[in-house]
Chains A and B, each alone.
Chain A
Amino acid sequence: MDLSFVVNQVLTGLAGASSLFLVASGLTLIFGVSRIVNFAHGSLFMLGAYAAVTIYGPVVAALGPAIGPWFAMLCAALAVGLVGVAIEVLILRRLYHAPHMLQILATFGIVLIMQDAVVLIWGYDQIVGPRIPGLRGAVTIFGLRFPQYELFMLFAGPAVFVGLWLLLHRTRWGTLVRAATRDREMADILGVDQAKLFTSVFFLGAALAGLAGGLQLPREPANIYLDVRVILEAFVVTVIGGLGSIGGALLASILIGLLQAFGILIFPKSTLVLVFAVMAIVLMFRPWGLLGRPEPQTTSDLAETKAAPPDRPYAAHLVVAVLAVLMVLPLFAPDYIVKLSTQAIIFGLLAFSLNFIVATGGILSFGHAAFFGIGAYTAAIAVKNYGVPAGAALLAAPLIAGVVALGVGWFIVRRTGIYLAMLTLAFAQIVWSVAFQWVELTGGDNGIVGVWMPGWASATGAYYYLTLAVCGTAIAVIWRAVFSPFGYTLRAGRDSALRCDAIGIDLRRHRVLAFALAGTAAGLAGSSFMFLKGGVDPSLLSMDISADALIMSLIGGVQTVVGPLVGAAAFTFLKAYIMPLTDQWRLVLGVIIIVLVLAFPRGIVGFVNARDWFSRTVTRSPIPAVEERTA
């Protein structure tokens, strides 16, 4: 590597860092005051790109090539800022005191809605952006040509940083924002209207995302995959930098930018793995990120989060009745229904195992798909590459998932809340990128196909019974675990870590074991799913699967034992019947999520239980009610 090449890579890396910073700064700014991790931030970026590309032509025609391009991007940014305001006022404002899981799901719902909205408005095809007049050429640096626009981008990030810094440190508004970031309630006491302040912060944060989207246009076309890619990058940057820290975001952007520029030379295939690995390493040594600080205490009210108990074991006859229906289902139901039911049972196990750690253990995982996928891939590879008998692969794959979960759990369960959720997401993305990039082993994008159960077991009915037996047993084990000393201890840890410690419980080890148990169960769901579909591809490891599992719990009722099972069934059949009717399944799902989060956070079972329609079920407190105190 000669010097000019290194310099060129450094500049490329820094230009990338600039672009990362533009997105991450808005995300971290919003998190700072609202403590909400906004999954929709990437969607706002995408929206900015589409908005800019749409108005670019007319605006440039009207104002000329000198001012036109910049004015178009500015207008797009402002428009996106207004969308951000709408999101804050209509949805997020009601969730400031809600559990992290509901906040994450609500913003994820916005992601889904925006994906379909963009498709509806602009279609599936990518739209190639303009090249800015005056910045189309290249400059020669150390003998290598470097695009002018990249050079411009290289300065855009630092310029925005300086602007933000001045805004936050040299204006009254900035002082109030920083004060509210440290202690919302004290700012309130001093007469600061938080609602207005938060809305203005959302405007700025969203506008920054929109601006970043517009500025990206000369580098890549506006397309419908921008949102997920950008949000993952922005998460990594903000988490490494420290949630809420603008300076940290800049530092982390530079780190990641350079890592991508040079990593691609050393490991051409694994920059994603490299990026997420760096994130994991940083968090191990600095749990709050490079420049972050521990979550501040935001309220002086002593009222603790209401921790719901699981409902008592359900009346045996109810369980028997459901089992009886399941046993005879293939005798009268068409194949299609039986297949769907098989899938519902599998997803039931996935959601059930996730809810075990989320609701009982207070371990909010947003990466459960990792273990589902590992189970599926392990089984497929075992059968395809090593000739392992299908039955053995079905049962052994979960053990591999469990061992991986044990290792991952060992260092993530020390964290709590939102950091834990983001760490699990990061881990799932590492696994996803391995599956995507290690083509020799995993088949890359195409995955592995044609892996079926042998002979009799491949028949729809037979595989249904097999799944019912195997996954049903796993569900029964976890169900029992909820009420066993193991589950009680896990719940005790969620209720009061302090008390656990003072009665001799090694909580961390316990949480790791629970994480491994849930991972094993997810692995079994994964291997079962693989044989149902006869193959596997990276989509099984995607964020969508992790989110779906959480959504199933939400639909059924997070704080209930059967909720995830009911939710999985409802979700599976709803999806199967709505999807053929509309091209906008994501939009429908997004709306469902948001309505549930805002209006029915207890889910179906929680709703039924609270009504006390069946005297056998016990009325229990739901997830903490959303208090309107900050609104």
Chain B
Amino acid sequence: MSALLEVTGLAKSFGGVRAVRDVSFSLNRAEMLAIIGPNGAGKSTCFNMVGGQIRPGAGSIMLEGENIAGLMPRQIWRRGVGRTFQISATFMSMTVRENVQMALMSHHGRIRALLPLANRLYAEEAVAILERIGLADRRDQMCGVLAYGDLKRVELAVAIAHRPKLLLMDEPTAGMSPSEREALMQLTASIVREEGMAVLFTEHDMDVVFAHAAHIVVMNRGAVVTVGTPAEVRDNSEVKRIYLGGTLEAAH
């Protein structure tokens, strides 16, 4: 079976600075792939190019054989890609359930309806998704008052509402406690198993990465350093050097 997502030669410059150059990797169905690297490595830029938030300078992003590079985020979403953001982007003036309902209304093409009451549309479907995510008891709380970890889960619920083939998660566990992190990633893994959804994620917590990613793309200074299984990456000397910093003989 061919890969779900095939990224080839992806590149992007900002004002002459090459933020990302020649990045290639692929992702199969029901697989979790992590992109890691130090700050400024180009992870987020790569990630946002796949999601459509940043227009690629060069390269192709094939989703099931269709090149989605340069499409608008909403067009990419329509092709079955959901995503979460590093700084969670939820509708703060709505309840948790309404956030999920928004995604469902959009999916069902109902956003321009003037007469129905929005919070009664797809309510059960939304609650079912929230139950899946473990947020059903928070369904009527406003997003603006939620704890950080819960907001991250709302993001996840919104992102999977239209049953995407590919889920993009940007720093899904940033700012969470260790137990919350593990719980969220367990949940994600179970969704991957049951729905056959593929997940592409960036993450700083190496425990999370090594525990859940099938493959890891390591980036530094805009380029891919290595791609491999967690074991391969862990033993890579180049990766260790990047993470612990170079020696500073001259300064001693």
Judge A-B direct contact (beta carbons within 8 Å): yes
Residues of A505-538 whose CB lies within 8 A of B: 505-506, 510, 513
- Check A484–B74 contact: CB distance below 8 A: no
Q: Is the CB of B92 within 8 A of A304?
A: yes
| Chain B: CB-nearest residue to A312 | B119
CB neighbours (8 Å) of B215 from chain A are none
Stretch at the interface among B20-28, B107-115, B206-214, B234-242: B107-115
A492 to B91, CA, bound (A): 6
Which of these, B72, B111, B144, contacts A489 with CB under 8 Å? B111
Contact status B116-A489, CB under 8 Å: no
- Count class of interface residues, chain A: 20 to 34
Give CA–CA (A77, B53) in the complex, Å.
50
1/0 per residue B134-151: CB within 8 Å of A?
A: 000000001010000000
**Chain B contacts of A488 at CB under 8 A?**
94, 98, 101-102, 105, 111, 118-119
Is the Cβ of A498 less than 8 Å from the Cβ of B112?
Answer: no
State in angstroms the CA–CA spacing of A498 and B107 once bound together: 17
**Cβ 8 A contact of B94, one of A309, A477, A501:** A309
- Cβ of B158 < 8 Å from any Cβ of A? yes
Is B102 touching A492 in the complex (CB atoms < 8 A)? Answer: yes
Given A486-B113, A489-B111: A495 touches B119 (CB 8 Å cut-off): no
> Which B residues, 141 to 199, have Cβ-Cβ distances below 8 Å to chain A?
142, 144, 158-159, 161-162
In this assembly, does A503 line the interface, its C-beta being within 8 Å of a C-beta of chain B? yes
Residues of A within 8 A of B73 (CB): 501-502
Q: Which residue of A lies closest to B158 (CB)?
A: A503
Q: Closest Cβ of chain B: how far from A42's Cβ, in Å?
A: 36
Using Cβ atoms and an 8 Å threshold, which residues of chain B touch A483? Answer: 117-119
| A197, CB-defined interface residue at 8 Å | no
The residue from B53, B92, B101, B107 contacting A504, defined by CB atoms under 8 A apart: B107
| Chain B residues whose CB sits within 8 angstroms of the CB of A308 once the complex forms | 93
Mark A473-487 against chain B: 1 for CB-CB distance below 8 A, else 0. Answer: 000010011011111
Tell whether, in the assembled complex, residue B111 and residue A499 are in contact, meaning their CB atoms are under 8 Å apart: no
B102 touches A503 (CB 8 A): yes
Interface string of B116-141 (1 = CB under 8 A from A): 11110100000000000000000000
Q: Which residues of A contact B82 (CB under 8 A)?
A: 502
Q: Is the CB of A309 within 8 A of B93?
A: yes
Complex alpha-carbon distance, A502 and B82, angstroms: 7
Neighbouring A residues of B72 by C-beta, 8 Å: 501
Question: Is B74's CB under 8 angstroms from A504's CB?
Answer: yes
Verify if B3 is at the interface (C-beta below 8 Å from A). no
Find out whether the CB atom of B93 lies under 8 angstroms from the CB atom of A486. Answer: no
A487 to chain B, nearest CB (A): 7
CB of B90 within 8 Å of the partner chain: yes
**CB neighbors of A among B54-89 (8 A):** 72-74, 77-78, 82-83, 85, 87, 89
| Chain B residues bordering chain A, tally (CB within 8 A) | 42
Identify which of residues 4-33 in chain B touch chain A, using a CB-to-CB cut-off of 8 Å. none
A98 to B65, CA, bound (A): 49
A502-B83, A503-B158, A504-B106 known; A480 and B90 CB under 8 Å? no
| Chain B residue with the shortest CB-CB distance to A309 | B93
Question: Which residue from chain B places its CB closest to the CB of A306 in the assembled complex?
Answer: B144
The residues in A between 44 and 101 inclusive whose CB is less than 8 angstroms from any CB of B are none
Q: Is A325 an interface residue when CB atoms closer than 8 A count as contact?
A: no
Query: What's the least CB distance linking B79 to chain A, in Å?
Result: 10
CA A495 to CA B43, docked complex, whole Å: 26
CA–CA, A308 and B102, complex, Å: 17
Interface string of A7-48 (1 = CB under 8 A from B): 000000000000000000000000000000000000000000
Q: Are B103 and A513 in contact (CB under 8 A)?
A: no
The answer to the question of A368 belonging to the interface, with a C-beta cut-off of 8 Å to chain B, is no
Contact of B117 among A304, A484, A499, A502 (CB under 8 A): A484
Bound Cα distance A57, B114 (Å): 66
CA distance A158 to B83 in the complex (A): 54
A302 CB within 8 Å of chain B: yes
Whether A485 pairs with B113 at a CB distance below 8 angstroms is yes
Q: How far is the CA of A268 from the CA of B72 in the complex (A)?
A: 46
A494 CA / B112 CA spacing, docked (Å): 16
B111 CB contact (under 8 Å) in A494, A495, A498, A510: A510
Contact of A499 among B90, B93, B107 (CB under 8 A): B90
Q: Is A586 an interface residue (CB 8 A)?
A: no
Q: Is A539 close to B, CB under 8 A? A: no
Least CB distance from B51 to A in Å reads 7
In the bound complex, how far is the Cα of B94 from the Cα of A576, in angstroms?
A: 39
Q: Does A307 contact B (CB under 8 A)?
A: yes
Q: Mark A264-306, 1 if CB is under 8 A from B, else 0.
A: 0000000000000000000000000000000000000010101
Contact present for A480 and B111 (CB under 8 Å)? no
With A304-B92, A483-B119 in contact, is A503–B106 under 8 Å at CB?
yes
Query: How far is it, in angstroms, between the C-alpha of A307 and the C-alpha of B102 when the chains are bound?
Result: 16
Asked if A617 is an interface residue, CB under 8 A from chain B, the answer is: no
| Chain A proximity of B26: nearest CB distance (Å) | 23
Complex Cα distance A494/B98, Å? 15
**CA–CA, A176 and B212, complex, Å:** 51
> A347–B219 Cα gap in the complex (Å)?
60
Give me 17 other A-B pairs in contact (C-beta within 8 A), A495-B92, A502-B77 excluded.
Answer: A307-B91, A309-B94, A480-B115, A484-B117, A485-B112, A485-B113, A486-B114, A495-B94, A499-B90, A501-B53, A502-B89, A502-B159, A503-B107, A504-B106, A504-B162, A505-B106, A621-B144
Interface residues of A (CB under 8 A from B): 302, 304, 306-309, 477, 480-481, 483-489, 491-492, 494-496, 498-499, 501-506, 510, 513, 621
25 A-B residue pairs with CB within 8 Å: A485-B112, A485-B114, A485-B121, A486-B111, A486-B112, A486-B114, A487-B118, A488-B94, A488-B98, A489-B106, A492-B94, A495-B92, A499-B158, A501-B73, A502-B51, A502-B73, A502-B85, A502-B89, A503-B74, A503-B158, A504-B77, A504-B107, A505-B106, A506-B74, A513-B112
Ranked nearest first, the 5 interchain pairs of A and B with the lowest CB-CB distance are A499-B89, A309-B93, A488-B118, A495-B91, A307-B93
